[in-house]
Structure 1
Amino acid sequence: MSRERVYDFLRGKFLLSEEASKHWWFIIFCTLLALIMIASSHSAERKVHLIAKMNNEVRELRSESIAAKKNLMTLKMKSTLEEKLKNTGVGPAKNPPKKIIVYLND
């Protein structure tokens, strides 16, 4: 390639020639493709950040759930119930419960 053609290209003379309409349409097309690619990249990155944030929330909620289950198991223990109800006078039954059987006649 000659030095003159390189300088003409760098100066943008190909945009001012008689065949410039072909070049302009191609440049507009490439620009639109670049804009679409940039928008798609930003959208994908935004989704990646959202997914990371949601994963952190899931981990936090899972640990809260485990802590709540542990607390519930502690509260349901017989010794814990007896300790909390000791001052109210409620305690385990002294007599075992009796089983009541009901027969239904058809």
Structure 2
Amino acid sequence: MSRVKDSIYGILQGRFLTDDSSFNNWRILIFVVALLLIMISSSHSLDAKVVKIAELNKMKREFRAEDFDTSTELTRMKLESNIRKRVKSKGLFPAEKPPQKIKVTTNKE
């Protein structure tokens, strides 16, 4: 049991970094630290992309609502009753008699 206790104390005191065979331990630690830095960096990059996607989705919903409002307004402007109101001020009124079709006949000689 004392052997396990000594090894735990050795790890806590950092003897594995100062021993003669510590070069291998340093290489592993540097590799692990590099992996951790890469992981943290990719995590931050992913978070930034998620925020950007959320902003773009919000803008998309706003543009879709604006498009719907604009098309509704355009449809209302095209209604015959709306057009009659707008041209009434200019003195134009709908015809009382329906239009007649004009037929042109040509004689071949």
Question: Same fold judged by TM-score > 0.5?
Answer: yes
Q: Deviations over 1:43-90 (max 9, x none)?
A: 111111111111111111101000000000000111001101111112
Q: How high is the TM-score relative to the length of structure 1?
A: 0.86
**Structure 2 Cα separation of the partners of residues 97 and 39 of structure 1:** 78
Partner of 1:38: 40
- Alignment equivalent of 2:51, drawn from 49, 52, 70: 49
Q: Which has the larger radius of gyration?
A: 2
Aligned length: 101
**Structure 2 Cα separation of the partners of residues 98 and 56 of structure 1:** 55
- Of all paired residues, the percent bearing the same amino acid is 35
**Structure 2 Cα separation of the partners of residues 19 and 100 of structure 1:** 109
Partner of 1:104: none
The structure 1 segments of at least 4 consecutive aligned residues displaced by more than 6 Å after TM superposition are none
1:97 Cα offset (Å): 6.2
Deviates most, 58-67 or 91-100: 91-100
1:6 Cα offset (Å): 1.0
RMSD over aligned CA atoms reads 1.8
- Alignment equivalent of 2:24, drawn from 1, 22, 35: 22
**Structure 1 Cα separation of the partners of residues 52 and 78 of structure 2:** 39
Q: Gapped runs of 5+ residues in structure 2?
A: 105-109
Aligned: 1:96 with 2:99 = yes
Q: Gapped runs of 5+ residues in structure 1?
A: 102-106
1:42-81 → structure 2 map (5 Å cutoff): 42-81=44-83
